[in-house]
Structure 1
Amino acid sequence: MTELRAVTAAGERVSAVLHRERHEPGAVELLVSAAEVWRLFPEIGATGTAGMDALLRALRAELDRDPPGEDSACVVTWPSRDAEAIRAFLDHGLAPMTALAVRTAPPEPVAELPGVTIRRARPEDFDAALDLALEIFDYSTLVALPRREETAEVLAPDLRRKLDQGTAPVWVAEVDGVVAGLADCSWVDVTADSGAAELLPLGSWGYLNNVGTARELRGRGIGRALAGTTHEYFRERGATGTYLYYNPPNPLSSVFWHRQGYRPLLTIWEVRPASLLR
């Protein structure tokens, strides 16, 4: 962990903590992360664009002293509505790769779809559910981190455990008896001493981890029905709200989740590899 200090052109002092993370091969974090991450935690007060610009220049100087490898990224998590900071991120080559979005509104009624059945996933759905999860990852790789060779091996154990135990909130959509949609969810308790408290208000939250529909059946309302089912499930059990991560550059999810009532709370800005930071 390193402390960075910088001064704006107007003489305002700003600081940040720089944390370096390294993920070993096979780590679940590698599904959505570079192997080497330079994570910046800025403290810019009211200095706006100038303060963030100064800290990113300081980060660039730090990278020059210890050049990162190819499988690396510079990452900053920042409030989504802070437009002044956004200007600095763009100027330094960072892109809005991931957004944490929340939904607290009451769920809308789930419309019935002729020929479509939404039900809890069972152990015998494992192969079809894993195929769908991989298909979702494949599409995301068009706008996010390239899919790693070990993605299936990393995803499989947790998915199999959920289906075998039958207690996790995981649903599938069937069309003519064939699994055509997946909603892999879980509960997350946000307490004052938990790491999640840095991102979300305290409470018991429903987390939508992996939701998608088979490519050939998109546009029929299956994804909306799956999302509605999960929202109703968590509401009935007293959840504070639901949350998820989506990729803003993704032309499907960035539109779909806003229509389901989600609003971005925090945006994760990245540049990969880290050496491309300007």
Structure 2
Amino acid sequence: MTSARGLVAAQSARFASLDPLLPPATEPPMDGHVITAALADGTRVAGVVSHQSFEPHSTTRLWSTAEVWEMLPLVGEAQGMDALLTRFRRHLDSQEVGDDTACVVHWPSRDSKAARAFLDHGLVPLSVLAVRLKTPAQHVSRTLTIRRATPHDLETVLELSLAELEYSSYVGSTIVRPEAASTKRRALTERLKNASPIWLAERDGIAVALAECAIVSSEPGTMAAARLPRGRWGYVNCVSVLPGARGNGIGQQLLAHAHQELHRMGTVGTYLYYNPPNPLSSVFWPRQGYRPLWTVWEVRPASALR
């Protein structure tokens, strides 16, 4: 464990040099499979591979494969990602790998040298975690009525959420499974019942857009602490504009309102996941002030890792 702690400390220092918003590297999970690799100069790097299976009807299976092998690299200051991914591939040779599977690595978006290794091994930047720090409110001309959604809006919220799910399935990690509607309905019913921060934008009394958000605390011991700076964050889970209403500034108006309200709740900033292959979100989100912090490198099925 001394070696692992040394790698974690060195990796934390490297993260800080790459991007000041990155939290320190985390200790590896105790229940994962440890892999190691030796570099040409004698330096050793390591990784911890965890394996997760997600039950049918779980919300996770709407944006993930049923089984995921995720590697947490511990390369310290070394450029050892290529060697580590080779060892990851060998580890998979001892596993039963089906079709509904993936290999995943979360890694700082600004590490361009590591990106070369990911691409060479068949992984693609399917998603990014992007952040936006709290800024002074900007005036956006409003032509819509924007209000909080209530349990009475369930069917409308569900329709807009499923529209985003379907579109994202063509350009990202989302999977439209047979149980998608029932799974979404169950989750949204609970969120609306708990008065979660969800907003609808209406034009002439008709809902044309949805912003489904949440409040997430990044504190020691929380899952968010591995990805975000400390503090209270607004999470933008889903923004959906009906196809016939896109291109009219509706999403910008709705998001400006959501940002303002989330900041009133004491958040230091907001974050979200978007898909770089998505021709809409890859343009829209940077224009709203978001920039990548982590890239989710993924290959499906897992057996396609090179």
Q: TM-score range by the shorter chain?
A: over 0.9
Q: Secondary structure, in 3 states, of the residue corresponding to 2:93?
A: helix
Q: Which blocks of at least 5 consecutive residues in structure 2 are unaligned?
A: 1-31
**Structure 2 partner of 1:6:** 37
Please report how far the alpha carbon of residue 83 of structure 1 lies from its aligned counterpart in structure 2 after TM superposition: 0.5
1:83 to 112, 120, 133: 112
1:66 aligned to 2:95?
A: yes
Amino acid at match of 2:101: S
| Residue type at the aligned position of 1:111 | V
| Partners of 1:135 and 1:214 within 8 A in 2 | yes
Match of 1:263 in 2: 291
Select the residue among 183, 206, 216 that pairs with 2:211.
183
Of residues 49, 52, 65 in structure 2, which corresponds to 1:21?
52
Deviations 1:147-202 (A, max 9, x none): 1111111111221223234x211100111111110001111112112111111111
The alpha carbon displacement at 1:229 in A equals 0.5
Q: Name structure 1 gaps, 5 residues minimum.
A: none
In 2, distance between residues paired with 1:173 and 1:10?
Answer: 58
Once the two structures are TM-superposed, the CA of residue 204 in structure 1 deviates from its matched residue by 0.9
The equivalent of 1:243 in structure 2 is 271
Does the CA-based 8 Å contact 2:213-2:235 persist in structure 1? yes
Q: Write out per-residue CA displacement over residues 102-146 of structure 1, whole angstroms, 9 at most, x where no aligned residue.
A: 1114154342333x2111112222111101100101110002233
Name the SS for the 2:142 alignment partner. coil
Residues 7-54 of structure 1: CA deviation (Å, up to 9, x unaligned): 123332111001111111112211111111110001112222xx1010
2:252 alignment partner in structure 1: 224
Contact conserved, 2:211 with 2:240, CA < 8 A, in 1? yes
1:172 pairs with 2:190: no
Q: TM-score, normalised by structure 1?
A: 0.95
Q: Which residue identity is paired with 1:9?
A: A
Q: Distance in 1 between matches of 2:188 and 2:89?
A: 40
1:236 partner letter: R
| Post-superposition CA distance 1:231-269 (Å, at most 9, x none) | 101222221111111111111111111100011111110
Amino acid at match of 2:205: G
Conserved in 2, the CA contact under 8 Å of 1:110 and 1:229? no
Q: What's 2:183 paired with?
A: 154
Check conservation: 1:117, 1:173, Cα contact below 8 A. Answer: yes
Partner residue of 1:113? 142
Give the Cα separation in 2 of the matches to 1:35 and 1:69.
10
Q: Work out which of the residue numbers 127, 145, 149 in structure 2 matches 1:98.
A: 127
CA contact (8 A) 1:107 1:231 kept: no
Q: Matched residues, percent identical?
A: 48
| TM-score, L = length of structure 2 | 0.86
1:84: Cα distance to partner? Answer: 0.7
1:177 & 1:46 partners in 2: Cα distance?
A: 56
Bigger shift: residues 6-15 or 259-268: 6-15
Matched, 1:194 2:226: no
| Aligned mate of 1:127, from 155, 163, 169 | 155
For the residue of structure 1 that corresponds to 2:122, the secondary structure is coil
CA distance in 2, matches of 1:67, 1:87: 28
Distance (Å, rounded) in 2 between the aligned partners of 1:163 and 1:53:
45
Q: Which consecutive aligned stretches of 4+ in structure 1 deviate over 2 angstroms post-superposition? A: 8-12, 107-114, 161-165
CA-CA distance at 1:207 after TM superposition: 0.7
Q: Is the 8 A contact 2:132 2:271 kept in 1?
A: yes
Task: State the alpha-carbon separation in 2 of the partners of residues 257 and 102 from structure 1.
Answer: 10
- Distance in 2 between residues matched to 1:164 and 1:53, nearest whole Å: 47
Distance 2:292 2:95 in 1: 34
Give 3-state SS (helix, strand or coil) of 2:170's partner: coil
Query: Aligned partners of 1:2, 1:277: CA distance in 2, in Å?
Result: 17
| 2:13 matched residue in structure 1 | none
